[in-house]
Amino acid sequence: MQSNTNKIIEYYNSCECDYRIFWDLDRSMAMHAGFWDSKTKTLKDALMRENELLAEISDIKLQDKVLDAGCGIGGSSIFLAKKLGCEVVGITLSEKQVDKARKNAKAHGVDSLVRFEVMNFCHTTFPDASFDVVWGIESVCHAEDKLSFVREAFRLLKKGGRLIMADGFSLKAVYTKAEADEMRYWLNGWGVDRLDSREQFYNHFASCGFENVLCHDMTASVMPSSKRLYKISLPAIACSKFGEWLGWRSSIQTHNLWAAYYQYLTLKKELWEYAIFCAYKK
CA pair distance 66, 89, nearest whole angstrom? 6
Cβ atoms of 225 and 34 within 8 Å: the answer is: yes
| Residue 215: pLDDT over 90 | yes
Cβ atoms of 55 and 86 within 8 Å: the answer is: no
Sheet bearing 87-92, strands edge to edge: 114-118, 87-92, 65-69, 131-137, 157-170, 272-280, 211-217
Chain segment 41-90, per-residue pLDDT in tens: 999 999 999 999 999 999 999 999 999 999 999 999 999 999 999 999 99
pLDDT reported for residue 116: 98
Chain segment 143-162, per-residue pLDDT in tens: 999 999 999 999 999 999 99
CA pair distance 122, 139, nearest whole angstrom? 11
| Residue 246: pLDDT over 50 | yes
Beta bridge partners of 69: 91
Task: Give me the mean pLDDT over the 115-136 stretch.
Answer: 98
Cβ atoms of 49 and 35 within 8 Å: the answer is: yes
Q: What is the chain's mean pLDDT, rounded?
A: 96
Task: Give me the mean pLDDT over the 86-107 stretch.
Answer: 98
pLDDT reported for residue 4: 84
pLDDT reported for residue 109: 97
Chain segment 159-204, per-residue pLDDT in tens: 999 999 999 999 999 999 999 999 999 999 999 999 999 999 999 9
Angle of helix 177-189 versus helix 251-268 axis, rounded to 10: 130
The pairing of beta strand 131-137 with beta strand 114-118: unpaired
Share of the chain above pLDDT 90, in %: 98
In sequence order, the 6+-apart residues with CB closer than 8 A to the CB of 52 are 83
Q: What is the DSSP letter of 126?
A: P
pLDDT reported for residue 77: 98
Beta bridge partners of 64: none
| Residue 1: pLDDT over 50 | no
Q: If we measure between CA atoms, which residue out of 128, 115, 206, 113 comes closest to residue 161? A: 128
245: alpha, beta or left, given left = phi > 0 and alpha = psi -120 to 50?
alpha
Beta bridge partners of 217: 275
CA pair distance 39, 35, nearest whole angstrom? 10
φ, ψ for residue 155 (rounded to 5)?
-60, -40
Task: Give me the mean pLDDT over the 225-245 stretch.
Answer: 95
DSSP 46-77: HHHHHHHHHHHHTT--TT-EEEEET-TTSHHH
Angle of helix 146-156 versus helix 198-208 axis, rounded to 10: 40
DSSP 174-206: S--HHHHHHHHHHHHHTT-----BHHHHHHHHH
Q: Which domains does the chain have, with CATH numbers?
A: 4-171+193-220+272-280 (3.40.50.150)
pLDDT reported for residue 84: 97
